[in-house]
């Protein structure tokens, strides 16, 4: 399911990085491996890397939380809604992480409203997970631009730093930094958690970029880069 950038009509999904539509990329089929063998292999890798001292950011699952949804549109400029941008970016991120073999859970996969408490509860179902909430920013000051990533707990700060660095390397733009934030989904999380802001819908230049598939794809890849770096950092 996807939405065109101008009229937000239904259109066919695609995987083109330069697609100008807000869409869900198709998930490529995973190799057929018996679950028991796959679990055993994963456990062996965890043990080896832990023994080598390179598994400082170990986690077993990524919980991706596309912000807003349903009646909660988030930031808006014309027909560009934050809720659509966040969902599309989240689905791209899900695809890239699964492609790398990560276990992923989405708090929503459609344009539906989910309470903050339920979002946090989904993340807390899993021990040893990380929680990544995806958003696009908005302010009445139209000149404000840039990327920023929030954390609440000390455990979330290294993850926020890695993701912020990954996004900046992929898309450039102004670095608004890694910041402490008291957002509910961060405070309620029992796992390392971050809230990502992928640019300002209210800024005309950034809005023009985020309407393109290539920009949203770069944001997703940058977040994935950060997650991978966090997992294997010393």
Q: What is the pLDDT of residues 101-118, one digit of tens each?
A: 999 999 999 999 999 999
Mean of the per-residue pLDDT values of the chain: 84
What gap in Å lies between CA 178 and CA 156, rounded to an integer? 11
Task: Indicate the length of the chain as a whole number.
Answer: 234
Which of residues 70 and 46 earns the better pLDDT score?
70
Q: Is residue 12 part of a domain?
A: no
The reply to whether 131 falls in a domain is yes
Helix axes 82-99, 213-232, angle to 10 degrees: 50
In the prediction, which pLDDT does 139 show?
96
CA nearest to 95, candidates 12, 23, 18: 23
Cβ neighbours, 10 Å, residue 182: 8
| Mean pLDDT computed over 175-198 | 98
Residue 58 — very low, low, confident or very high, per pLDDT cuts 50/70/90? confident
pLDDT at 27 over 80: no
* Residue 38 placed within a domain: no
Q: Count CB neighbours of 61 within 10 A.
A: 18
Contacts of 174 (CB under 8 A, 6+ apart): 145, 146, 147
Q: Determine, yes or no, domain membership for 22.
A: no
Domain that holds residue 170: 57-232
Each residue's pLDDT tens digit, 131-153: 999 999 999 999 999 999 999 99
CATH of the domain at 164: 3.40.630.40
Number of domains composing the chain: 1
Give the C-alpha separation, 63 to 163, whole Å: 14
Q: Output the pTM of the full model.
A: 0.78
- pLDDT band of 232, cuts 50, 70, 90: confident
Q: What pLDDT score does 34 carry? A: 53
């Amino acid at each position: 399911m996807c939405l065109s950038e101008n009229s937000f009509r239904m259109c066919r999904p695609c995987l083109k990085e330069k697609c100008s539509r807000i869409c869900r990329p198709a998930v490529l089929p995973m190799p057929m491996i018996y679950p028991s063998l796959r679990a055993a292999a994963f456990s062996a890798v965890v043990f080896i890397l832990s023994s080598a001292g390179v598994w400082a950011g170990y986690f077993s699952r990524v919980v991706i939380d596309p912000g807003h949804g349903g009646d909660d549109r988030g930031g808006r400029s014309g027909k560009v809604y934050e809720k659509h941008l966040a969902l599309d970016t989240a689905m791209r991120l899900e695809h890239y992480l699964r492609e790398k073999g990560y276990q992923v859970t989405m708090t929503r996969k459609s344009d539906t409203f989910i309470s903050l408490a339920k979002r946090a509860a989904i993340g807390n179902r899993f021990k040893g997970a990380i929680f990544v909430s995806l958003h696009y920013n908005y302010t009445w000051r139209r000149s404000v631009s840039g990327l920023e990533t929030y954390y609440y707990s000390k455990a979330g700060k290294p993850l926020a730093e890695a993701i912020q660095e990954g996004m900046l390397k992929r898309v450039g733009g102004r670095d608004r930094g890694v910041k402490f934030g008291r957002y509910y989904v961060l405070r309620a999380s029992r796992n390392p958690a971050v809230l990502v802001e992928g640019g300002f819908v209210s800024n005309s230049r950034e809005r023009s970029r985020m309407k393109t598939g290539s920009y949203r794809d770069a944001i997703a890849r940058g977040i994935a880069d950060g997650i991978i770096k966090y997992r294997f950092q010393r």
